[in-house]
A and B are shown apart, each in its own frame.
Chain A
Amino acid sequence: MHDPAIRETPLVGFLTLLRKEVLRFQKVGFQTVLAPVLNAVLFMLIFSHVLDRHVTVYGDIGYTSFLVPGLIMMSVLQNAFANSSSSLIQSKITGNIIFVLLPPLSYREFFAAYVIAAVLRGLLVGLGVWLVALPFVELPMAHPLWVLGFAVLGGAILGTLGVVAGIWADKFDQLAAFQNFLIMPLTMLSGVFYSIHSLPEVWQQVSHFNPFFFMIDGFRYGFFGQSDTSPWLSFAVVAACLLLLSALTLAMLARGYKLRA
């Protein structure tokens, strides 16, 4: 019988779902953490070998130094997206999402657990890329709080997009389309590999419509104290994007879209 002696502690449900999501990516750490770190390091080695002696940015900053924060942030964003989206679509396709839907978890707890786990994986991969890059490149960190703030906000935005994609997609093919035709181009064209000041005027303007540009630019400001645009503007854009996207996603979850028929 339902035993009142069993202590049901508030927040335990949410914390358990968060812990489960973290354990899930930890258990396949080679695939979820080490492989993305290796990917980013390969990018760094190849691009720095080709361009480091030819390009400087913001006056005297070498290209490899400029590149590394972009690669770190790109890794944070892509892995935050991958975590929530792949976890949800796997659970949906195998049917074990039911174990999360039957307990008394609210849609807000559901949202928070998936997004925070996504941010944690993004930060872990980003930290890995930073640590591996340190011996190869001189990388100052002028404003650590800006670095952390943009990493968390950017990871949260992509974790939220991952929740949307994971719930929307009915098969892996659809998820891959979301990733390859939306996330990847927006990331690649956000200034990871270049400063937008090196672009023609029109493309500079176009870049300002890409929220990923503000995530990367603000994050890079944390390292160099210099950026293509004001860090406060970047912060405002990124925070507004997160709030808007979170509100839309919470509304979607409250309706039970594709989760509760």
Chain B
Amino acid sequence: MSEVAIRISGVCKRYGSLQALDHVDLEVRRGEFFGLLGPNGAGKTTLISSLSGLVRPDAGTLEVMGHDVVTDYRNARRNLGVVPQELVFDPFFSVRELLRIQSGYFGIRRNDAWIDEILEGLNLTAKANQNMRALSGGMKRRVLVAQALVHRPPVIVLDEPTAGVDVELRQGLWHFVRKLNTDGHTIVLTTHYLEEAQELCGRIAMLKGGRIVALDTTANLLRRFASHSLKVRVERPEVAVALGGTLTNDERVEFDFGGFDDVEPLLARLRAAEAGVTGLEIGEPDLERVFLEVINRA
């Protein structure tokens, strides 16, 4: 059996004059927690929509667990669960009714045992018989996750699932998604919260203008693109800035450096210039810096 959960080959999509996807090639392996990042309009949602059959690409092929999303769409869709970006719901039904209906669409009857398990995992049990209209935004977001899971898909795509969700709900959601990943589900995540992507994703693709501009493990991206930073508090910031530092909002001066061997010479230069160092902190590379560097460079 192939180790590839998602295979995207040469996918192009154009809307009028906008090239939303431009020859995208990508493979996501089974069991991966994969991040799809990019600025607004980069093509993330178009790519996900192509994968789920909501958008028909102009060229290229997409497969989910070896099933082509066009020629073998039934099996491709059975293997895929999508949590959409928009907070959409059917106002006519309760949470449980909605999950039963969604199970039925996938050809599954008598799915209540699994529905109860999902409701429990997402802390929705108490809301099971409430109409969707009565739920808060965060609860509706959890129901969207539950709907994507009713047919136990091995591949789950979450399109900005934490937009507008408070911290507690967000952490609960990540705990649940992490567990799904540990259980063997392949997770594809798009998010604008880069610290979440850094913490959760083993591998990341960055899109800009419909093209993949970076694709690597999170660790490699951090190593390749982001340098460490040395933040110093000094008595004479203007002296430190003259040595190549950047003044930060909290009145410190920040220097980027590649390896730890660079720290001592930097401190020596500050001492020699009589900057008056009163405190220092070494900052770890973070995905936000990587993201900005990659996107600006592309």
Contacts and interface: CB of A to CB of B under 8 A. Distances in A.
A252 interface: no
Interface in A67-94: 91, 94
B101 A20 contact: yes
A17 interface: yes
Counting chain B CB atoms within 10 Å of each CB, the highest count among A6, A91, A105 belongs to A6
A98 B88 contact: yes
Contact of B152 (A1, A10, A19): A1
B53 A13 contact: no
A94 B91 contact: yes
Interface in B145-174: 147, 151-154
B198 interface: no
A99 B79 contact: no
A12 B107 contact: yes
B108 A6 contact: yes
Nearest to A20: B101
A15 B92 contact: no
B154 A103 contact: no
B225 interface: no
B55 A261 contact: yes
Interface string A78-122: 000000000000010011101111111110000000000000000
A54 interface: no
A24 B152 contact: no
A105 B101 CA distance: 13
A261 B56 contact: yes
A261 B104 contact: no
Interface string B159-201: 0000000000000000000000001110000000000000000
A101 B54 contact: yes
B49 A261 contact: yes
Interface extent on A, as a size class? 35 or more
Contacts, number: 107
A201 interface: no
Contact of B105 (A17, A95, A96): A17
A256 B55 CA distance: 9
B224 interface: no
A103 B92 contact: no
B79 A103 contact: no
B102 A99 contact: yes
B154 A2 contact: yes
B74 interface: yes
B109 interface: yes
A2 B152 contact: yes
Grouping DSSP codes into helix (H, G, I), strand (E, B) and loop, the B interface class, with mixed when no group exceeds half, is loop
A159 to B, nearest CB: 19
Contact of A95 (B88, B109, B185): B88
Contacts of B65: 2
A60 interface: no
A99 B56 contact: no
Interface in A1-48: 1-3, 6-10, 12-13, 15-17, 19-20, 23-24, 27-28
A27 B111 CA distance: 23
Contacts of A23: 92-93, 97
B61 interface: no
Interface string B55-81: 110000000010000000111011110
A19 B65 CA distance: 31
Given A1-B185, A96-B90, A98-B84, A260 B53 contact: yes
B177 to A, nearest CB: 15
26 contacts: A1-B185, A2-B65, A2-B151, A7-B108, A9-B107, A10-B107, A12-B104, A12-B108, A13-B105, A16-B101, A94-B90, A96-B88, A96-B90, A98-B84, A99-B101, A99-B105, A99-B147, A102-B53, A102-B80, A103-B77, A103-B105, A104-B74, A104-B105, A104-B106, A260-B56, A261-B15
Given A13-B107, A16-B105, 4 more contacts: A2-B151, A6-B108, A104-B74, A260-B54
Which 9 pairs between the two chains have the least Cβ-Cβ distance?
A16-B104, A8-B107, A103-B105, A95-B88, A104-B74, A104-B77, A2-B154, A12-B107, A96-B90
Interface of A: 1-3, 6-10, 12-13, 15-17, 19-20, 23-24, 27-28, 91, 94-96, 98-106, 256, 260-261
